[in-house]
Structure 1
Amino acid sequence: MYTTIRGFVEEYRLEAGQTQKLLDALTDESLNQELAPGYRTLGQLAWHLVHNNEGMLIQAGLTFEAPAQQERPSSAKAIADAYRSVTEGLLKAVETQWTDEELSESIHLFGQTWTKGLVLYIFLKHEIHHRGQMTIVMRQAGVPVIGVYGPSKDEWAAMGAPIPE
């Protein structure tokens, strides 16, 4: 749970930057890759990150611009650009619309009572969860996976380093 706006903003900027790298690596062809039949496609996961940004936080009382389009674009670049735009709007909204003191205020969300600080925490963990799913589907789609918390297998190989087991 976050107790300061600055704490959230600093961590989210880092995490959103990692998410942006993955989104920027997607190709139009990769967007239809499924993990397995009946599961979200890579494009649906990527677009969910754009609309996740708006959904949970707007319900929590923040106001910022989000794409009006509900269906995912067919262009990987359009998804990546939308995420970039929503992320900047979200950060500006958190910085200007909430205060450190307000992070301890309770709100009702998803049938539960959460503090605003907890909303920010769960929001970020939700994004990280889906980002992890994306890396698996990216590998299946043949898209080079970018390391998030350390080098990916592809990056280890590019460095000429032995791939750790």
Structure 2
Amino acid sequence: MHTSSIQQNILAELDHELAQTRKTLERVPFEQADYKPHPKSMSLWQLATHVVNLLAFNTLFVQHDARDFLDPNAPKPGPTPTSPEELLARFDEYSAMLRQALNESDDEKLTHNFRLHRGEQTIMEMPKGSAIRIMGLNHSIHHRGQLTVYLRLLDIPVPGLYGPSADEK
């Protein structure tokens, strides 16, 4: 009987979603970086950068047991990319780091809790495997969905992510 592991399931899902996310990021027009569909929205470039930086956050879930937002020495993403090439290079780098961290982990480690907090205030505490899925992958997919709306509003062909898009039919 073949049993599937938490680690292998996450890696398979990650590989699929990373490929779809890269397709989306490749279409982000840097010349419209400041575009916002609403005053409360992030700019196009802020959103694209956030999608990329979430990969580093995912790696944190795998490799550490906690993250305090008040810790001035906690790891932070690098400066905002200043070109599409820099954005995609960071995406590829952070994707590779996350894959490596997951490959070096195992099911037992992924059942350990991860605590996200601000000083004494716990924001989230759950098993690492769940944190990766909920706060990592689902969070990234949510923001990638927002990015596709920005693309649509800017009249840029939207890539098919789970089958053909309206632009690919």
**TM-score above 0.5:** yes
Shift of 1:67: 8.3
Shift of 1:38: 3.1
Is the contact between residue 3 and residue 104 of structure 1 (CA under 8 Å) also seen in structure 2? no
Question: Alignment length, in residue pairs?
Answer: 150
- The residue that corresponds to 1:45 in the other structure is 47
Is the contact between residue 111 and residue 127 of structure 2 (CA under 8 Å) also seen in structure 1? yes
- The residue that corresponds to 1:62 in the other structure is 63
**Are 1:141 and 2:142 matched, yes or no?**
no
Shift of 1:147: 1.0
**Are 1:118 and 2:130 matched, yes or no?**
yes
Structure 1 CA distance for aligned equivalents of residues 63 and 115 of structure 2:
14
Deviations 1:37-65 (A, max 9, x none): 2310111111001211113532x3527xx
Instruction: Return the TM-score normalized by structure 1.
Output: 0.81
What residue ranges of structure 1 are gaps of 5+ in the alignment? 157-165
Deviations 1:93-140 (A, max 9, x none): 1111x2111121123224132001111111100000000000000112
What residue ranges of structure 2 are gaps of 5+ in the alignment? 65-74
Counterpart code for 2:108:
E
RMSD of aligned Cα (Å): 2.1
Q: How does 1:1-165 map to 2 (within 5 A)?
A: 4-58=6-60, 60=61, 62=63, 68-70=77-79, 72-96=80-104, 98-110=105-117, 111=122, 112-122=124-134, 123-156=136-169
Structure 1 CA distance for aligned equivalents of residues 27 and 76 of structure 2:
21
Instruction: Return the TM-score normalized by structure 2.
Output: 0.80
Secondary structure at the residue paired with 1:25? coil
% identity of equivalent residues? 29
- Deviating 4+ runs (over 4 angstroms): none
Is the contact between residue 28 and residue 48 of structure 2 (CA under 8 Å) also seen in structure 1? no
